[in-house]
Each structure stands twice: as C-alpha cells, then as structure tokens.
Amino acid sequence: MTKVYSFVADIAGLRLDKFVGEKCPELSRTHAQQLIHDGFVTVNGKSAKPSLKLNAGDKVDVVIPPETPSQLEPENIPLKIVYEDADLLVVDKPAGLAVHPAPGHPSHTLANAVLSYLPALAKDADSLRPGIVHRLDKDTSGLIIVAKNRLAQANLSQQFKSRVVKKTYITLVQGKLTPEKGIIEAAIGRDPSHRQRMAVTAKGREARTEYQVIKYIGNYSLLEIKPETGRTHQIRVHLAAIGFPVVGDTTYGLKSSRFPRQFLHASKITFKLPSTGKEITLESPLPPDLQGVLKEIE
C-alpha cells in the first residue's frame, strides 16, 4: 500500500535525507536517499538531492510506494509469443504491462509471466528480471526478447551493448514534423528538477534517434523511429525536446482523453540467434487500440 506524508521543516540547515529519515522512522537512511533519488520526495513541489539543506518552512512531501518484492512469484499471465527456440523467446508485450517489478507495480509484470512460463529461470542470479535483456516502458507495446539461459542472455546483452540489435518503433506525434527524415542527436540524463523524468541535458549520455515520416494525418505525423542508442525514455524525450511530443504521453506531452495511452509501439526487431549467429527480423502489427486512434483522427 502506498503511503503519502507531508511535513514542514521547523528548523533550517537539516539535510533532506536526515529529515525524511527522522520523520518516517520506518525508513532507513539508505531507503530515504533512494526515494529522494527516484523522485518520490519533493521540497516545495520540486525534486531535490538527498544533501539539500532545508530552510525553515520548507514543505516536504514523501511518497512511500509498496516495496519491490525480494523474490519473484510466477503468475499465470498470458504471453503472446511470436518466436521461440531453445535459447530465447520473443514476446509481443501489451501496453499497461510493466516489464519487471518496481516501486508502484510490485507484481503482475512480464517477469512474473515469464517465470510462470519458464519455471527453470527461478534459479537465475537476477531473480527479479529472469532472462530479460532489455525493456519497454509500461505503456509501450511491442516486441521484447527474453533469454532462456545464461549463455543466451550474455550473448544477447552483448548484442545490445555493441548495437547489433536494430529496433524500429511506430509513433504518432502532435504537429507536422519536417523535414520528413532526420536524426535527433542530444544527450539524455536525469531531469534535475523532476528525478522521475529524463531530459535533454549537457551532462547526459550520448543519444541518437533516427526518424522517418510515414504520413501526415491532419495536424499529426505518423513516424517510423529507429533509435541508435537505448537511453531511458529516449524516443519520448527526443521528440518532446524538438516540439513534437508523442500523443498520449502524459509525462513529456499533454494529457488528452482522446488518447488513452502513449502512441508508441515496438514494431520490428532484428538480431542474431545466439545458437547459430543467423540474423532474423521479427515484426508486430500495430495493436487494435492504436489502429483505432488512427481511424479516429483520419
């Protein structure tokens, strides 16, 4: 159960992490620092660093989400498998399903489903992310690879690291994006004002996103996206930074009842099979909810 607290600093000069630890005795200093780092603690409505010295009268809001379980439990959640062999499976993940447990969604994740389908992965050293070598945002649908054994996982992880894996996404953005083809190159890092968000920042890590307009629909652009790097929220951050946010993206764009979730779908993935080195390409059609959005705006 999520807990929410609000406090007002009565003296000046106390570190934020110490203040939170004193006000919330169920938290260790380390846990308090992690919550602050992850953006669950705000000072006067803004994210802050654990070392921030408070002023008298500062308003401190603390959200304590349910703890992430220390051990993953198998859950019988249906998987849409588009490819499977002795080393891996590729799943077409629906929107709304988180990839692995985290604060806010401790269970009912893709990892729980995978463990039910492949019980042998329970012996994996990383028991909360069995076989998972990359991720998709909770509200992004599409293709994701799951390794069945450690050798395959190591092989696939190296493919991602060396950028052998090629991913393609389909997205709809607000506005008429021109030119029709281009590359967005801007470093991405943690947003200093909102720790749960990412942002284009000079202190961030290199990030490159290639885009191609598929078609214009009124004041919208349907795009094919090929990220060359794999930063957190990269596509959403880059498109918002150039003024063309993904429709339905309430974090980096605008909330709208017309778009129930962010229009972002991992439609294609190309990689080499760990067993043979043969390159394969797998595709996923646009899911019905996103097809419905296109029909509506057309």
173 neighbors 236 (Cβ within 8 angstroms): no
From residue 34, alpha-carbon distances to 9, 28, 31, 38, 274 in Å are 20, 10, 5, 6, 36
What is the mean predicted confidence (pLDDT) over 286-290?
A: 96
Which one of 137, 139, 191, 249 is the catalytic residue?
A: 137
Res. 14 pLDDT band, cuts 50 70 90: very high
Q: How far apart are the C-alpha atoms of 292 and 255, rounded to whole Å?
A: 18
The proportion of the chain whose per-residue pLDDT surpasses 70, expressed as a percent, equals 96
What is the mean predicted confidence (pLDDT) over 103-117?
A: 87
Nearest to residue 203, comparing CAs of 186, 220, 219, 216? 186
Q: How far apart are the C-alpha atoms of 196 and 191, rounded to whole Å?
A: 7
116 neighbors 75 (Cβ within 8 angstroms): yes
CA 123 to chain centroid = 26
Residue 104 pLDDT exceeds 70: no
261 neighbors 246 (Cβ within 8 angstroms): no
41-45, 140-144, 199-203: which is most confident: 140-144
The string of pLDDT tens digits covering residues 254-283 is 878 788 899 999 999 999 999 999 999 999
The burial class, CB within 10 Å (0-12 / 13-18 / 19+), for 182 is middle
* 259 phi, psi to nearest 5 deg: -120, 100
CA 63 to chain centroid = 20
Residue 195 pLDDT exceeds 70: no
H or E element at residue 292? helix 288-297
Nearest to residue 289, comparing CAs of 260, 252, 255, 268? 260
Q: Is 137 a catalytic residue?
A: yes
The burial class, CB within 10 Å (0-12 / 13-18 / 19+), for 56 is exposed
- Domains in the chain, start-ordered, CATH in brackets? 3-64 (3.10.290.10), 67-162 (3.30.2350.10), 168-265 (3.30.2350.10)
Residue 125 pLDDT exceeds 60: no
